[in-house]
Chain A
Amino acid sequence: MVKAATITLKNVSCHYRGNTALKNTSLEVPPNSIYAFIGPSGCGKTTLLRSINRMNDLIPGFRLDGSIEIDGENIYADSSKKYVEDLRRRIGIIFQQPNPLPTSILKNMYLPLREHYVFDNDHFRQKAIANLQEAAIYDEVKDRLDKSALSLSGGQRQRLCIARAMMLDPKIMLFDEPCSAIDPVATLKIEDLLNDLKKDRTIIIVTHNMEQAKRIADYVAFFYKGEMVEAGKAMDIFTRPQTEILHNYITGRF
């Protein structure tokens, strides 16, 4: 086990042009853990997740107050293009809709590297294969690495995207409802994968699925209407919710 990164949010508020999506959130994600963000639709989970690798910078009018620190380094201190691009290479993100590009599986794996003009195919082929294996998809695609990634099923596509993000050896991986577009069997595969990944990485996952959060999360934060209502060990959150609203949410009375 490699010690991964600690993520610390201090008084984070997120504003889109004209509205505030998240108010005053502070929490700490310990290394090598799976931290789940839960809460009803529109409460700001995605906003917060995308702030951690600064994807929201791409939205005109977005503004973040407070600070997000990775191992003590405030990632909002430097806003140069180079810094932000490097940051995104250190933090993988997987979206709700799997987004492989319309080229071959192998080319998808090379995308993060080729973007940076690396062409040493033999070495990177090995690396790509290793990552596909780690993402538990290699056996299903090994005979068609040169075929289009769009020929894969939804669950396979999502695992391909995870493997692709792993090409850059990120110490932090963010997942935004990674299983919402795929079936239960594929979901379980991805959950297994997440448990594997946390050995060397810190993981945050947004999920609407309480069972999933119970199965895999070490920590849970509950958001409601743009505010973090409760956060803590998953056990405590699910067995001893402090607020009525969280109690209602986890018992499905919402």
Chain B
Amino acid sequence: MTVNAVKTQTRGQLKEKNHRLFNLGGTAYTYISMALIVCVFSFILVVVFRYGFGVLSWHFLTSEPNPSALDAASGGILTPIIGTFLLTIIGIVLAFPFALATAIYLCFYTKKGLFRTLVKGAVDILSGVPTIVIAMFALVIFTLPQLGFLSTMIEGVEGASRAYGRSFLVAGITMGIMILPFVIKSMEEALKAVPGSYIDGSLALGATKWQTIYKVVLNAARDGLVTGVILGMGRIIGDTAIVWLALGGSIRMTGNQPWFAPENWISTLRNSGCTLTSYIYYTSPAGEGNQFDVAFGASLVLIAIIILLNLMASLLGKAGVKKHG
């Protein structure tokens, strides 16, 4: 063996050793990070549970809140729950068709070109805009008197000719706009993941492009599309800034009473109210209530709803897998 050969051999062994060390380091790094994340999350959950669980009761879930700092008189979170659901439904119903159409357009109708760049850029930028900015924008638009039918007109004030600009309708529409980029992106991913062989197969059978999209692509991408919807719902449920500015600051339903009577539904939608997130703010020490336990109780319900939503998503995914084999 020459000197050179020995040298290369030891260098090879060194390299091998380095590799192993690197491997070990990488593994340790991932495990420690994971453990840390799990710790932080469980800590949050434990704290919320610890403080919030005590206030949970049937009464808490099914009675309306009262503006009182006395726990006994302050009621429950029925209207905040309803408010959260209202905004979620309005937002998703509005965003869904536009998001799907945009995703289809980006996937199947343009490969490149100025317009595509513009659309993609708009989606990217919109997804980075803080929701408080979107809420400000909504406030400017929806206080226009021409859009007064979405909220209420300011009346009885001399010289005022603006709309109030805050209501479930206004906030719902704003939520729809806010989630558009996220829903578009995740739907685009879902559509892109449909194997080209499905598309070719359909076109080879003489289907038109639209028939292929409608019958084949949307079916194959269904689980991914549902995920997109659920992602959007999660964002609406968790948002506070838009609620604050576009729904308004009141912990009760402010339309005609009783708010749940069918003849008052329109009025309820055109007026303000609150959601779980804004309720948490009011009742927290930062807001007016300083009812720590109540705020945590509402947080617990909010987290439960989000967990339920995610569970639903994975169940739907599983059902889809089962069906498709």
Contact = CB atoms under 8 A, between A and B. Distances in A.
Interface residues of A, number: 32
Interface size class of B (residues with CB under 8 A): 20 to 34
A102 B324 contact: yes
A220 B323 CA distance: 43
A140 B215 CA distance: 27
A111 B215 contact: yes
B219 A101 contact: yes
Interface in A93-139: 93, 95, 97, 99, 101-103, 111-112, 114-116
A168 interface: yes
B208 A85 contact: yes
Interface string B197-219: 11011111111100110011001
A164 B206 CA distance: 12
B134 interface: no
B317 to A, nearest CB: 13
A55 B204 contact: yes
B224 to A, nearest CB: 12
A81 interface: yes
A34 B47 CA distance: 74
Nearest to B323: A148
Given A60-B111, A115-B207, 16 more contacts: A55-B203, A85-B207, A88-B205, A92-B204, A95-B197, A99-B198, A99-B201, A101-B198, A101-B216, A103-B324, A111-B216, A114-B215, A115-B208, A115-B215, A116-B206, A116-B207
By Cβ-Cβ distance, the 10 closest A-B pairs, closest first, are A148-B325, A89-B206, A102-B324, A150-B325, A99-B197, A88-B206, A115-B207, A99-B201, A151-B325, A112-B205
18 contacts: A53-B204, A60-B111, A81-B208, A86-B206, A87-B206, A88-B203, A88-B204, A89-B205, A97-B197, A99-B201, A101-B202, A102-B324, A112-B207, A116-B207, A148-B324, A148-B325, A149-B325, A151-B325
